[in-house]
Amino acid sequence: MIIATPLISCSGKNKKPVIKFSADSASIVIKNIDEASLLQVKNQYQGNADSVELISVLLKPGELDSLQDDIVVPGKVIVTGDSVVFVPEQPFQKNKSYRVENYIGIKFAGLSNLLNGTARHNLQPQKQILKR
């Protein structure tokens, strides 16, 4: 009972954070972050904003590109209000696809996962493809 109580408190149903381009497509915004995760992000960001790697953005090769590897998009992360924003060093390219990966709001396992044996042993990032 003592072990189950903390697990129950962490098993709330949270919506996944929403990843999308900003209105002007100059940055990527992650919204709909639950309060606990947002507090963790803010604490980590305040501790060392220059080295925080909350978001990975990768340029995906096009169908006709001879280059077959994703290219890391350099940029900086800004925590503002209830959102996390990725601002690239160079503008996003039109007609290109970007894979965005992050661990914001990812839970290791809820109570139901632990009880039925479906808990993952490693965390998987939230991934989304955005096309500019």
- Map out the domains of the chain as residue ranges: 4-131
Residue (of 16, 79, 69) closest to 44 by Cα position: 79
Dihedral Cα 118, 123, 126, 129, nearest 10 deg: -100
- pLDDT tops 90 at residue 91: yes
Q: What is the pLDDT of residue 118?
A: 55
Question: Could you give the percent of the chain with pLDDT greater than 90?
Answer: 27
Band (pLDDT 50/70/90 cuts) for residue 67 is low
pLDDT, residue 21, reads 95
**What's the Cα-to-Cα distance from 55 to each of 19, 67, 71, rounded to whole Å?**
10, 23, 14
Q: How many angstroms separate the CA atoms of 18 and 28, rounded?
A: 10
Confidence band, pLDDT 50/70/90 cuts, at residue 9: very low
Name the residue with higher pLDDT: 13 or 53. 53
The Cα–Cα gap between 37 and 98 comes to 24
Asked if residue 32 has pLDDT above 50, the reply is: yes
Domain 4-131 has CATH 1.10.4160: no
Say if residues 109 and 85 touch (Cβ distance below 8 Å).
Answer: no
Q: What is the pLDDT of residue 8?
A: 38
89: tokens are 């060093």
Cα Dmax for the chain: 58
